[in-house]
Amino acid sequence: MNSTPLPRKAERLVAVKGMNDILPPDSARWEALEERVRALMRRYAYENIRTPIVEPTALFVRGLGEVTDIVEKEMYSFEDRLNGEHLTLRPENTAGLVRAVVEHNLLYNGGKRLFYMGPMFRHERPQRGRYRQFYQVGAEAMGFA
């Protein structure tokens, strides 16, 4: 007698609740907005920085504080099965930007104007107009008086 389970009827795969596809023609509008942001940032001498979507959980616990709502309930955190590291999908990007500036000694030659844009993640109950994956633009001027 064969003990192999019978295949289940194929389940329909859909996006995770609160994480949405951006389809044409909306994607073209997103591209236009992103280019306008880049042009504005360049006009004010801001340079683009791209940090990883996944960072060590400790970065957000230390940077945001252990008792904030974001750290206590809203982060997508997990343990990497390969090496046991505690990792988190970024809930915001300032902490990652500061980590990159320090790690790569970006202020060695003076102040930096940096900007970022991209997806962020918060594990909260999706509400109308609020999503678990959302997009954020930010600018930081570091190392200036």
Taking only the tens place, the pLDDT of each residue in 20-38 is: 999 999 999 999 999 999 9
Specify the DSSP class assigned to residue 37. H
Burial 20-51 (b: 16+ CB within 10 A, else e): eeeeeeeeeeeeeeeeebeeebeeeebeebeb
Structural domain for 107, as ranges: 26-142
**Measured between alpha carbons, how far is residue 143 from residues 74, 107, 113 in Å?**
31, 6, 9
Domain membership of residue 15 (yes or no) is no
As for how many domains the chain has, the answer is: 1
In single-letter form, the type of residue at position 71 comes to V
The three state secondary structure string of 41-69 is: HHHCCCEECCCCCEEEHHHHHHHHCCCCH
Which CATH number covers residue 35? 3.30.930.10
pLDDT digits (tens, 9 = 90+) for 70-121: 555 588 999 999 999 999 999 999 999 999 999 999 999 999 999 999 999 9
